[in-house]
Structures are given as C-alpha cells and as structure tokens.
Amino acid sequence: MSSNGFAVDIASLLAVAGTEPNGSAQGTRLEPGEAEAFLDAYSQAVITVADKVSPAVVNIRTRGRAGPHAEGAGSGVIIAPDGYALTNSHVVHGAGRLEATISDGRAFSARLVGDDPATDLAVITLDADGLPAAELGDSDRLRVGQLVIAIGNPLGFQATVTAGVVSALGRSLRGRGGRLIEDIIQTDAALNPGNSGGPLADSRGRTVGINTAIIQGAQGICFAIPINTARWVAGLLIKDGRVRRAYLGVAGEERRLHPSVVRRGGPAVPTGVAVVNVITGSPAEAAGVRAGDVIVALDDTTVRTIDDVHRFLSRAPIGCDTQIAVLRGAERISLRAKLVAAPE
C-alpha cells in the first residue's frame, strides 16, 4: 500500500476479491473493511467530506414574497451550533417567512439576521441549538486544480453532492445590485438552482466557499464566494444586521481622457470616472466636487472605472478624510471629503 493509504497494487486487489490474476473467481465474500480497499483516493475523499459536511447543510424554504416568486428554495450551511447559518442574499432577501430543514429531517423556523446584496451573502438563525456546524477553512490558500465538493439542495433534491476542481481564482462577478463582487472562486463542481447558499468544501471537509451562481447555458462554469469574505460579512451581519460601507455621493460614468491631458503629466491611465451628478448634502458636495469633474484618484488609489470607486469605498473606514483627485478641464485639482456611512 502506498503512503497515502488508498492505492493498492493489482495483485492485492485481486487477492482481496478472491480472483486470481488469470481471472478465475474464487467466490470470496468481501468484508466491509476489505470493500473500502477498492475505493480510490478520490472517492474516499468525497465520501469523507460528504459525511462530515452534510449534517451542517440546510434546505431553506422561503414564503411571503410578493409577485410570481412568492415561494422559493435554496441552501445554507450552519456555522455555529446555536443556529447561525450562511446563505445567499438572493435566497432570503424579501422573504416573509423562512423554514430550514437539516439532513436528519428536522425542520425549524428561521429568521433573517441580515443580508448584504453587494456580496450576495446573508445570515439566518435557526430556532434551535446544539446543531452540527461546518468547519470553516482559509480560501486564501486555495490552488487552481484543487479538489472541491459542493453540497446543497438543487431543484429540491436534498443533500446532493457534486465534486470538481477549482477552475480559477480571483474572478469578478456582477452582483444583482450592479456592484462588482471580487475574488470569486470558479469551479466545475456542478451547481443547479437550489444549490445557492450551500457550502463548497475542500478535501478535508472545510468550507472554503459559499456557492452563489452559474452561467446559464454553460457547462462546468460555476462560482462561489470565498469563505474569508463570507466570514467577514457574517461577523458584521451578526453584530449590526448589515454591512456599513463608506459613501461619497456621486453618480458617474467611465470616460476616456484626452491624450493631451495624459501627456501633460496627468494620470498614467487613459480613463477616469466623469461625475454626472453630485448628491445634495453628500460628502462629495461638501468637498466641492462638481458635475463634469473627472475623478482620477482616491487617496493613493488610481480610479479608472466605477468599479474602482466601489472597491475603494468598500474598504475605506467610515469617517476618514479622503483625498479626491479630479480633472476640471485641463487642470488637476485635489479635494478632501469626509466619508460617511452609505444610506440604507
């Protein structure tokens, strides 16, 4: 047997099976322990993960929404024995009533603790304690090609297990509100409607992502939110019920800069964000930003697109003073704004 504990040579397998190398059967019956020797490392890893993680997976039923999608379903994963569970914002947002069923068949009423559409994450709490909770891993340590296992309830089929690999890291995905979600995990572990909110686990059964999206019509292109992002968002949702982000107060669009501006020592990139509207009473208005200005930097961060602005505001401390570099005509001007919390 090899050092990984799974691979055995052909002669040993035939001996266990009671079959000689020439193919003659001896009729020996396999004992449970001997049968496990036939499982290769891949199969054994998937089985072990399914056994470990499935008890922490919940089937979420939603009711009370208005419109054609009054009822819905999705998945979640319990992250604390006292009933806190992670899922997707789009699974539970706007639902009037939640019900969660775990793998042993027990059903519990649940309530929404908070959700964050910007990252498509939400936390619910089940009306129970002493529940099996998933072990959370470190998504920063993932490698392309690594084995991952998705568990969820696609199309109502509870505790469905699929396996694949990490296809790519650092993808970006547009959320339902238009904001860019960064550092997304791409996997070919098959996902279907109803998998949303379920765990993506590594070969040791540690949850490394929250399954969130598929590309309709594509084969094997699925996405999960890194657990390190989910861990941060979950902490804020449990503490405050929402994620507070900094707010500047401008509406803008990407605009290509005239080559002459760049040649005169302007920004090193050919685009910036042109301010279309300045919100009354906003930090941008107080700082003196005007419609027609082109934002090219926030503090030391170069601004090329609206996504660069969103990215900066997602990480900037609320209440901090921020330097805004704008082009006004051919002149580069530096303004200062005190960021506030984004309005709900």
Q: Is the pLDDT of residue 267 over 70?
A: no
Question: What angle is formed at CA 118 by the lines to CA 114 and CA 123, rounded to 5 degrees?
Answer: 25
**pLDDT (tens digit, 9 = 90+) per residue, 58-104?**
999 998 765 545 678 899 999 999 999 999 999 998 888 999 999 99
Note the pLDDT of residue 342: 86
Candidate from 37-41, 84-88, 118-122, 145-149 with smallest mean pLDDT:
37-41
**pLDDT (tens digit, 9 = 90+) per residue, 165-193?**
999 998 988 777 677 788 899 999 988 88
Note the pLDDT of residue 264: 55
- If pLDDT is split at 50, 70 and 90, which confidence band does 147 have? very high
C-alpha distances (whole Å) from 112 to each of 134, 312, 344 are 19, 28, 17
Q: Is 310 an annotated catalytic residue?
A: no
Task: Summarize the confidence of residues 20-25 as an average pLDDT.
Answer: 44
SS (H, E, C) 61-83: EEECCCCCCCCEEEEEEECCCCC
Give the separation between CA 79 and CA 247, rounded to whole angstroms: 31
* Cα Rg of the chain (Å, integer): 26
Spatial contact of 88 and 112, defined as CB atoms under 8 Å apart: no
Give the separation between CA 104 and CA 110, rounded to whole angstroms: 17
C-alpha distances (whole Å) from 147 to each of 13, 136, 194, 202, 208 are 26, 16, 22, 6, 11
Spatial contact of 18 and 32, defined as CB atoms under 8 Å apart: no
Spatial contact of 208 and 202, defined as CB atoms under 8 Å apart: yes
Average per-residue pLDDT in the chain? 84
Token pair of 299 as six digits: 């503090």
Q: Is 120 an annotated catalytic residue?
A: yes
Note the pLDDT of residue 230: 94
Out of 196, 202, 293, 308, the active site residue is: 196
For the chain, what percent of residues have pLDDT higher than 70? 83
Out of 115, 120, 202, 293, the active site residue is: 120
Note the pLDDT of residue 306: 87
- If pLDDT is split at 50, 70 and 90, which confidence band does 30 have? low
Q: Is 196 an annotated catalytic residue?
A: yes
Note the pLDDT of residue 215: 74
**Domains along the chain with CATH numbers:** 1-37 (no CATH), 39-243 (2.40.10.120), 246-341 (2.30.42.10)
